[in-house]
A and B are shown apart, each in its own frame.
Chain A
Amino acid sequence: MFVLIVGAGRLGSSIAKSALASGHQVSVLDLDPLSHERLDAGQSKSWEDSGGQFTVGTALETEALIQAGIERADVFIASTAGDNTNLVIAQIAQKRFNVEKAIVRVMDPARAEWYGQQGLQTICPTKIAIEMFERTLAPAPVEA
């Protein structure tokens, strides 16, 4: 599969590395050229030598998305630091470029839930953390 990841922060770069290691074709787009260092960190070879692709640009620039290979992407992952940016670019990937699977990181649980109902696959780290904390604080009563 061809996976396009926008936003090479902690989340994006980790997914990029594991997707590449599992044999997928992976392209990463980030507006900060230095974010490339995260892709190289802890690896024996550089990102490109391992077969990865890296493009500098913002995800709202159509040309940058095309350069990063959105037209042949099977999976689009929006993992920039901005919820709204992620939600907008994932919809662009779906509606303009017909990418089959668009996955969006959304920190705000409310927006994640609503956009999830609108046909985007949203992942909300905040909600996951809340649930984990809740489980830790109030363990479910043992079933009789």
Chain B
Amino acid sequence: MYAIIAGAGKVGRNLARELISKEHEVTLIESSRVTYLANEDEFEHNLQYGDATELWVLERAGIQRADLVIAVTGDDEDNILVCQVAKEKYLCDRIIARVNNPRNHDHFKLLGIQPAVSATDLILRLIEHEVPRYGLVHLLALEEERLEIIELEVTPDAPTVGEKVVDIQLPEGSLIISVLRGGAGFVPKADTVIEAGDEVLLVLDPGLEESMTAYFAPNGHAAAF
């Protein structure tokens, strides 16, 4: 695979190292002369000096044959531009953008720059996971595929406690994919009985999260939303 990475800061360099160690072809593009010179020895021909938002710089890096373009500069507008041009002008199939300021996340979405990864959002997710105040944890949203994976802790008063998975009538577009019990996870079978305190992982069509609490955490409902 050939990947172009815009921005040779900490994120860009570590991504490049990882991809190179997995024997992928990588070009890092860095617009700061100082950063470029500081990393030239390590990355040699894998590092190019230039502004990745300039079309000729991308073309020099061979964007026409890139399988993946990753924009991880410290500037959100630059990251949007690099990905937009990669996707729409050079028809690159896969793009990944870094969101520096989480308030800009909507702009990435609006302009079709997906996936857009924000460190702040990731840390917030981790906090949610560690401190499940809301009962329902959003694990993953696959927007392109229109699927979500959520985690719910089963409360003792839930109607599904004591029920076999096969007997639980969940809405169309939802499925229990895993149960975490006593620190271990397993894929449930038809005769698995749901217990209070289980953490269930569900894969859902978007928009179904709210209805899931009624099955697994009825009193968590108010707190969850």
Residues 90-121 of A, flagged 1 when their CB comes within 8 A of B and 0 if not, give 01100110000000000010110010001000
A85: interface (CB < 8 Å): yes
Q: Is the CB of A82 within 8 A of B77?
A: yes
Q: Is the CB of A88 within 8 A of B77?
A: yes
Contact residue among A61, A83, A91 (Cβ-Cβ distance under 8 Å from B103): A61
The size class of the interface chain B forms with chain A is 20 to 34
Q: Is the CB of A84 within 8 A of B53?
A: yes
Q: Is the CB of A60 within 8 A of B76?
A: yes
Q: Which of B60-68, B78-86, B118-126, B151-159 contacts the other chain?
A: B78-86
Which residues of the partner chain B approach A118 to less than 8 Å between Cβ atoms? 88
Q: Is the CB of A62 within 8 A of B110?
A: no
Q: How many A-B residue pairs have CB under 8 A?
A: 45
Q: Which residue of B lies closest to A113 (CB)?
A: B55
B37: interface (CB < 8 Å): no
Q: Is the CB of B110 within 8 A of A84?
A: no
Prevailing SS type, chain A contact patch: helix
Contact residue among B56, B103, B106 (Cβ-Cβ distance under 8 Å from A110): B56
Distance in angstroms between the alpha carbons of A95 and B53 in the assembled complex: 21
A4: interface (CB < 8 Å): no
Which residues of the partner chain B approach A84 to less than 8 Å between Cβ atoms? 53, 75, 77-78, 80-81
B140: interface (CB < 8 Å): no
Q: Is the CB of B110 within 8 A of A96?
A: yes
Q: How close is B215's CB to chain A, nearest CB, in angstroms?
A: 36
Distance in angstroms between the alpha carbons of A132 and B170 in the assembled complex: 70
A residues 40-80 in Cβ contact with B at 8 Å: 60-62
B93: interface (CB < 8 Å): no
A87: interface (CB < 8 Å): yes
B54: interface (CB < 8 Å): yes
Which residues of the partner chain A approach B107 to less than 8 Å between Cβ atoms? 60, 88, 92
Q: Is the CB of A60 within 8 A of B110?
A: no
Given A62-B106, A91-B111, A96-B110, A111 and B77 contact (CB-CB distance below 8 Å): no
Which residues of the partner chain B approach A110 to less than 8 Å between Cβ atoms? 54-56
Query: What residues make up the interface of A, taking CB atoms closer than 8 Å to B?
Result: 60-62, 82-85, 87-88, 91-92, 95-96, 108, 110-111, 114, 118
Query: Can you name 8 extra interface pairs (CB under 8 A) apart from A60-B76, A111-B54, A114-B89?
Result: A60-B101, A60-B104, A62-B106, A82-B77, A84-B75, A88-B80, A110-B54, A110-B56
Instruction: Pick the 6 closest A-B CB pairs, nearest first.
Output: A84-B77, A110-B55, A84-B81, A88-B77, A85-B77, A88-B80
